[in-house]
Structure 1
Amino acid sequence: MTGSDPLPPRHACAGQPLLGLTLLLVEDSRLASEGVRLLATRSGARLRRADSLASAERHLRAWRPSAALVDLHLPDGSGLDLLARLAAVRPRIPAIVAISGDPALEAAARDAGADTFLTKPVLSLSQFQRALLGHLPADPPVPLSSDCVRPDPAALHDDLAMAQALIHRAGRQAYVAAFLRGVARTAGDIPLSDAAEDLATHPGDRAALVRLTRMIEGRLDAVPAF
């Protein structure tokens, strides 16, 4: 990661308190990413997305973001490792935010170096804006929005299709279960969240695997693709 690039000048205004910022989102869920993209756009920030640790490293070798938002469950490892690396780089990225569908991971995220923690689903503009503004150089205060965003539900199709492709692969069920818990919470799908939690709690259980597989198939039939 380049370490000499200063933060660009900001000219925050009402309705766009993050104007002038560039954000790196490290998130494997298309649905969750779509929600954060809408939050960033409504707030005036530009967003780059990485869907894995490897992709994030490629971005960071050439570019220093104003802030980083890191999911903790990624297909090629733990976001905690990336949080620790970002926190150790000097000059440090001013705002390092951990995001997860599992609030029990907040302490571990902060220990790894996160400035703050957001529990999925992240849909509130004011919550998103406060999480970043609390750790950025102060600008004159501007009003924050009380609105919420609604990701395009078609993004859910991509997440379900990926889960379907991976769920029967050796060694991937734990990842898929954690991934789908976050996706289901963002989508407000309690039965899917419960089924993913069941597989996470009972890895290798045939009945839990079959139940979750059938749910994925049923939802893919009901959700439009992009």
Structure 2
Amino acid sequence: MGSIYLIRHGQASFGADDYDVLSPIGIRQAEVLGAHLAQLGLRIDRSVSGDLRRQQHTATAALTQLTRAGLQAPALEIDAAFNEFDADAVIRALLPDLLPEEPEALHVLRNAAQNRAEFQRLFARLIGRWISGEHDKPGLQSWQGFVEQVQGGLLRLLEQAESKQNIAVFTSGGTITALLHLITGVPPAQAFELNWQIVNTSLSCLKFRGNQVSLASFNSHVHLQLLKTPELITYR
């Protein structure tokens, strides 16, 4: 069987003007991941990333550690199917209908870094509306549309894959969530409960034979735990 390693990007710049940039902690997480893979002697036959900067930066920082250890580091391929869904667009489209119930929501979302717990509660409510399919808006990618995007990326991987290949996919939490939904059949709401637990640079492993795919492991972040440095375990 072959293996697809789903790797969530390192910590991004939550609350900054540009979220799509790794923080210093995010860069360190990616380097630790790469060193861990090198220590395992894991052969990576292909590496794929979405086209977001935080995904690509995580990939290059990790793969550089493999090269430094004298291991093969394949050229990074880009497939936008593994991009994250546009969370800002979801918030902009669905927030107006929520404001009568949550009059402080706009203030919280504009000051997310100072209101992390409340931001998460509101974001989860908005995501719940998005995945229900009952609040679709013109111009906003639907949950079903996002799932189909991710499924297309997975099918391309499988069509191009060779038996027993190890493929690293540097992606995002929502993309991993969509794959969990597709592969295990877990309902979207439950899949997003798992989403909130996905650690930056964690590994989830899919096993494949032909077009048959199964989930082998989820959200492993032992490479961070072994350092006994709690600040390296982050979720955004």
Using the size of structure 1 for normalisation, the TM-score is 0.29
Structure number with greater CO (CA < 8 Å, separation at least 6) is 2
